[in-house]
Amino acid sequence: MIQSLLPRHAAITGAAFALSLMPAFAAESPTTQELAHATAAGSYLAARHAGVERDSATAAAYYLNVLKADPHNADLLSRTFLSVLSDGDIDEAARLADRLVQLDRNDRIARLVIGTRALKQKQYAAARQNFAQSVRGPVTDLTATLLSAWALSGAGDSHTAIETLDKLAGPDWYAIFKDTHGGLILDIANNKKEAGKRYERAYKADPVALRTVEAYGRYLSRNGGKEDALKIYREFDKAVPDHPVIAQEMKEIAAGDKLPPLADTPQAGAAEALYEIGSSIGRRGGEDLALIYLRLALYLEPTHGMALLSLADLYDSLKKPELAIAMYDRIAPSSPLHRNAEIQIASDLDALDRTDEAKKRLERLVAEHPKDNEAIMALANIQRGRKEFAECADTYSKAIADIPTPEKANWVMFYFRGICYERSHQWPLAEADLKKALELFPDQPLVLNYLGYSWIDQGINLDQGMNMIRRAVEQRPDDGYIVDSLGWANYRINNYDEAVKDLERAVELKPEDPTINDHLGDAYWRVGRVLEARFQWSHAKDLKPEPEDLPKIEEKLKAGLPDDTSSAADAAKTKKAGNGG
């Protein structure tokens, strides 16, 4: 807690007391007036709550407010620093870092921030000194070494910069970073021959690493030949088709352009290092450190498109669509990443229930590029998610019409259109699409589950349908929706004992799903476990079922199930498509 305001080990108990101290908490950052009226303890609690919610802007505002009352509290200063840093105010974070290192000279994140500020200001000796004090582990060792090498490059000493890189020992994965950045440093120093050797070595180590391919391809466009450069881009395109950056650079090189280095200043090189490491950490679950690295990359290079995209993707993974949109919006219209950003913004707007805005954005993209299947699919996905099933079927049809010869990767288009047809009561068309999806991708579990369940629900192809669902469960035994399908299918064919076993398992996997709980209630009723049935229905009601399902659950709570089980067919549809349904 706040050591000089509350007892060092104080535990605040009682929700009423905590809430009485806490200022009104909203999704937006507090106003100056709200901060002026907030108590120190209340600001601290609000900041902690915002931190848990990963709302760094609100956390930073409240921590800065309480820091005024307790400026020498090391723990509070550290929390404030990290919140301000995560929010992207690097200048303020650096000022706080200056204060932190007076209390703890070995604070490695503070040293990293101070060093990055010095590098941006071209104070290269100070930058190296601080980077040297920021090491404590494989990631930070690599980061400090790369940034120190770029500081040496900025001071005009590329020879020592390369020596610094080469001296770094560590895991095998260090090599591609060392060679890529060594190549960039030598390229800037006009040592083209040695730069080429480094680029080639990094490329051979991983020919599908995007930035390594770009670095080498750009070098070859200037120092090799157009065909040499295009060859490595084409190889990447085979492994990762249609990447917008690669597609744009291939187009430029094919037109005879000679592309500049991936980084042409020490600041850009350091930003590239922070981006590469940050994005890699973020993909492996290190969100907090990734956020810091990506923020520092953008401090050095505010228009770094890939860093903006990675930071936005990170916010999406953290369920922060407002923050993701802010990053996507910063990607320049001239960037090959802009179209992807627009599509992601639409998805985030829909997540914020701003669906009309999302649709308009995608409709504009499709109008500008009628063959843009990615935008068309994004629009169809939003329509499907909003249960506009007739509309989404039409939109998926536009995407499908553009496929000359459907391939395995296209199964999802037919699967999603099949869902839209089935939900809009066009079963013959739905069945044809689901069969086509299985033709393209035999044994795909989501499709097996959807088609098999649909047949059983209609009382047709019962053996084949059960076999399909069982095959889906074998592939995805921990998917609560698919296990629910098996249980509900057993229920539909009056195999109630088996249904209970399957549905109990499904509820274990997805305890908060109203449909699965409702299904288990029905199965319990049929095997005579009446009290448990009513408990499950009551729980399903509390879990906010679909509006059309609520009256049916309420009726069962009043009167139970009728003897005529045909009504079960009208029970709430299982989420038989898993997450895709």
pLDDT in tens, 286-297: 899 999 999 999
Query: Looking at residues 197-226, what average pLDDT do you find?
Result: 95
H helices present in 121-173, as ranges: 124-132, 138-154, 158-167
* 462 and 410 assigned to the same domain: no
Predicted local distance difference test score (pLDDT) of residue 136: 78
Check residue 69 and give its pLDDT. 86
| 427 plus 466 within the same structural domain | no
Q: What is the pLDDT of residues 368-403, one digit of tens each?
A: 999 899 999 999 999 999 999 999 999 999 999 999
Q: Work out the number of other CB atoms within 10 angstroms of the CB of residue 402.
A: 13
Report if residue 289 sits inside a domain: no
Chain centre distance of CA 72: 37
Residue 350 has pLDDT above 90, yes or no: yes
Q: How far apart are CA 367 and CA 262, in angstroms?
A: 33
CA distance 419 to 48: 43
Confidence grade of residue 422 (pLDDT, cut at 50, 70, 90):
very high
- Tell me what the pLDDT averaged over the chain comes to: 90
Residue 63 near residue 80 (C-beta atoms within 8 A): yes
Number of domains in the chain: 3
pLDDT at 28: 64
The Cα 522–Cα 349 span in angstroms is 38
Tokens of 279: 């994005």
pLDDT of 8 reads 28
Residue-level pLDDT at 302? 97
pLDDT at residue 194 tops 90: yes
Contacts of 276 (CB under 8 A, 6+ apart): 177, 180, 211
Q: What is the percent of the chain with per-residue pLDDT over 70, rounded to a whole number?
A: 91
Indicate the range of 61-75, 408-422, 527-541, 557-571 predicted with least confidence.
557-571
Determine the average pLDDT of the residues in 91-95.
97
Q: What is the DSSP letter of 567?
A: G
Lowest mean pLDDT among 92-96, 138-142, 198-202: 138-142
CA neighbours within 13 Å on the CB side: how many for 482?
A: 26
Task: Report the C-alpha gap between 69 and 71 in whole angstroms.
Answer: 6
pLDDT of residue 6: 29
Residues 453 and 569 in one domain: yes
- Which amino acid type is present at position 553? I
Q: Which of 39-48, 171-180, 346-355 has the lowest mean pLDDT?
A: 39-48
C-beta separation of 35 from 41 below 8 A: no
pLDDT at 565 over 80: no
Please say if the pLDDT value at position 265 is more than 60: yes
Instruction: Give the model's pLDDT for residue 138.
Output: 84
**Among 129, 388, 555, 229, residue whose Cα is nearest residue 237:** 229
How far are the Cα atoms of 156, 274, 551 from residue 139, in angstroms, in the given order? 26, 11, 56
pLDDT tens-digit readout, 441-481: 999 999 999 999 999 989 899 999 999 999 999 999 999 99
Q: How confident is the model at residue 556 (pLDDT cuts 50, 70, 90)?
A: very high
pLDDT attached to residue 176? 96
What value does the mean pLDDT take over residues 471-499? 95
For residues 470 and 55, give the distance between their C-alpha atoms in angstroms, rounded to a whole number.
43
Q: Residue 15 domain-assigned? A: yes
Return the pLDDT at 36. Answer: 66
Cβ of 23: how many Cβ atoms within 10 Å? 17
Of 62, 87, 112, which one is at a domain's C-terminal end? 87
Average pLDDT over residues 427-437: 98
Q: Mean of the pLDDT values across residues 410-417? A: 97
pLDDT per residue as tens digits for the range 139-183: 899 999 999 999 999 999 999 999 999 999 989 999 999 999 999
**What pLDDT does 10 receive?**
30
Coil/strand/helix, residue 124:
helix
Q: Are residues 482 and 516 in the same domain?
A: yes
Instruction: Please tell me the pTM assigned to this model.
Output: 0.85
As a whole number of Å, the end-to-end CA separation of the chain is: 46
pLDDT at 109 over 70: yes
Burial 46-59 (b: 16+ CB within 10 A, else e): bbbbbbeebbbbbb
Q: Return the higher-pLDDT residue of 14 and 157.
A: 157
Residues 44-51 have a mean pLDDT of 86
pLDDT higher than threshold 60 for residue 576: no
In a shared domain, residues 508 and 572: yes
CA nearest 380: which of 347, 351, 402, 352? 347
Encoding tokens for residue 556? 């069962």
What confidence score (pLDDT) does residue 16 get?
33
Domain holding 568: CATH number? Answer: 1.25.40.10
Residue 460 CA to chain centroid, in angstroms?
Answer: 41
Q: Which pLDDT value is given to residue 394?
A: 97
* Confidence (pLDDT) at 574: 42
* DSSP H helical ranges for 287-337: 287-300, 305-317, 321-328
The pLDDT of residue 499: 97
**Helix (H) and strand (E) counts in the chain:** 32, 0
Q: Is residue 275 part of a domain?
A: no
Q: Domain check: are 409 and 424 in the same one?
A: yes
Please check whether residue 490 lies inside any domain of the structure: yes
Rg, C-alpha atoms of the chain: 29
Task: Tell whether 434 is covered by a domain.
Answer: yes
Could you tell me if residue 107 is inside a domain? no
Same domain, 525 and 490: yes
Last residue of a domain, one of 425, 442, 459: 442
Q: What is the per-residue pLDDT for 498?
A: 96
The pLDDT confidence band at residue 37, using thresholds 50, 70 and 90, is low
The pLDDT of residue 50 is 84
Q: Are residues 566 and 451 in the same domain?
A: yes
| Domain shared by 501 and 407, yes or no | no
Residues 454 and 575 both lie in one domain: yes
Same domain, 561 and 473: yes
Residue 363's pLDDT is what?
A: 95
- Is residue 179 included in any domain, yes or no? no
- Euclidean distance between CA atoms 164 and 152, whole angstroms: 9
Statement: residue 17 has pLDDT above 60 = no
DSSP 573: P
Burial of 509 (0-12, 13-18, 19+ CB in 10 A): middle
Which residues span the domain enclosing 414?
A: 354-442
What is the pLDDT averaged over residues 563-569? 50
Q: Of how many residues is the chain composed?
A: 581
Asked if residue 453 and residue 378 are part of one domain, the reply reads: no
What is the pLDDT, as a whole number, of residue 155?
97
Taking the C-alpha atoms of residue 138 and residue 135, their distance in angstroms, rounded to an integer, is: 8
pLDDT band at residue 40 using 50, 70 and 90 as cut-offs: confident
- Longest C-alpha distance within the chain, in Å? 87
Instruction: Dihedral sign for Cα 69, 71, 74, 78, please.
Output: positive
Single out the residue in 53, 68, 87 at which a domain terminates.
Answer: 87
In a domain? residue 545: yes
